Amino acid sequence: MTRDMKNGKSSGTPGSDMDESGNESEHSATNSTDESDSDDSSEMDYEENEKKRKMCLEHILFLEKKFLGLREQLYRERIVEVESKLNEVELGQAKEYLLPLQKLQDNMRIRTEVAAILRQYRLNNLQNQYNAEEQAARQNLENEKALLYDHMKEELEEKIRRLEEDRNSVDINADLWFFEHNKRGHPMANKRGPKGLNRMKSRRKAITVSGPYIVYMLRDEEIIEDWTIIKKAMSQRKCDLTF
């Protein structure tokens, strides 16, 4: 279009030039009025925005104040609630305190019962151990006493046996000695006097038997030896019956 206008200027008539100048003046006037209107509208928009911003700030301040008030109120209510719960706990009336307390008391009761039962079992175990040790010590004492008694009995029996053997051997030796000396007519037989003779007579005193009897054709030494064996056996029998 500008090209046409330029072409028109170069090739058109003087009338067309005048029209173009009029159009340009009108266009410039229109532009100036538009600019003034836009300035007025921008000023109005700025004022509108400022009002809205102030209103928003006021609303925000109101909300903040209201939030602070509600927070303080909630804090006071929570403080009052906590203090009341604390008082209930101190008095032992709070449900939140009574239920755990009941559980703790039940646990304490159960553990106390278990501890008492365990204590009784341990006491019974100690008593059984004491009784077992006492019984073992008593049995050991009885066994030791029996062993000591048997040992002393054997020693005494052995001593008595030896004494009996010594006495019998002394009697036998004395009898043999007297027998030999009397047989040979040794003068020591007369030195013993009547006591020695009476003793020999009492030892050689004949035993009277009635009824049928057997006469053994033995020598005096064999008879004395048999008599010694019989006497030892009788002494041993007497010791066994005594103990």
Burial of 176 (0-12, 13-18, 19+ CB in 10 A): middle
Per-residue pLDDT at 46 exceeds 90: no
Provide the pLDDT for residue 39.
61
Residue whose entry in the numeric block shows the structure tokens 């039962």? 117
Measured distance CA(25)–CA(13) in Å, rounded: 20
Q: What is the pLDDT of residue 16?
A: 47
Residue 239 · residue 160 · CB < 8 Å? yes
Q: What is the pLDDT of residue 14?
A: 44
Compute the CA torsion angle 107, 108, 109, 110 (nearest 10 deg). Answer: 50
- Which residue is it, tokens 């600019």? 35
In this predicted structure, the answer to whether residue 236 has a pLDDT above a threshold of 50 is yes
Q: Which residues contact 92 (CB under 8 A, 6 or more apart)?
A: 98, 101
Of the candidates 211, 231, 212, 234, the one whose C-alpha atom is nearest the C-alpha of residue 223 is: 231
What was the pLDDT predicted at 75?
93
Comparing 121-125, 128-132, 153-157, 177-181, the range with the smallest average pLDDT is 177-181
| pLDDT tens sequence across 84-129 | 888 887 887 777 788 888 899 999 999 999 999 999 999 999 999 9
Mean pLDDT of the chain: 74
**DSSP structure class, residue 185:** T
Cα 7 to the center of its chain, rounded Å: 121
Rounded mean pLDDT, 5-15: 43
CB atoms within 10 A of CB 227: 15
The model's pTM is 0.36
C-beta of residue 220 within 8 angstroms of C-beta of residue 179 = yes
**Which letter, b or e, does each residue of 69-98 get, where b requires 16 or more Cβ atoms within 10 Å of its Cβ?**
eeeeeeeeeeeeeeeeeeeeeeeeebeebe
